Amino acid sequence: MTEAPASTIRRLARSTPQAALGTLDPDGAPYVSLVLIAVDHDASPLLLLSDLADHTMHFKRDARVSLLLDGTIGMASPLAGARATLMGEIMEASAAHQAARFLARHPDAASYAGFGDFNFYRLKLRRAHLVAGFGRIHWVEGSEVLLPEDDQLPLAAAEPDILAHMNADHADAVALYATRLLGRPDGAWQMTGIDLEGADLRLGGSVARLWFDQPVRDAESARAALVGLVRRARQGDRATGH
Q: Work out the average pLDDT over 137-165.
A: 96
- The mean of the pLDDT values for the chain is 95
Instruction: Give the pLDDT band of residue 242 (cuts 50, 70, 90).
Output: very low
Closest CA to 199 of 182, 186, 185, 187: 182
- Look at residue 121 and give its three-state secondary structure: strand
Q: Describe the crossing of helices 149-169 and 219-234 by its angle, rounded to 10 degrees.
A: 50
What percentage of the chain's residues is helix, strand, coil (to nearest 5)? 35, 30, 30
- What DSSP designation does 88 have? E
185-188, long-range: CB within 8 Å, 24+ apart, which pairs? none
Instruction: Give the pLDDT band of residue 134 (cuts 50, 70, 90).
Output: confident
Domains of the chain: 5-147 (2.30.110.10), 151-234 (3.20.180.10)
Kindly report the pTM of this predicted structure: 0.93
Q: Work out the average pLDDT over 156-161.
A: 96
Q: For residue 137, what pLDDT is reported?
A: 95
Strand partners, 85: 68, 129
Cα-atom radius of gyration of the chain, to the nearest Å? 18
* pLDDT, tens only, 186-210: 999 999 999 999 999 999 999 999 9
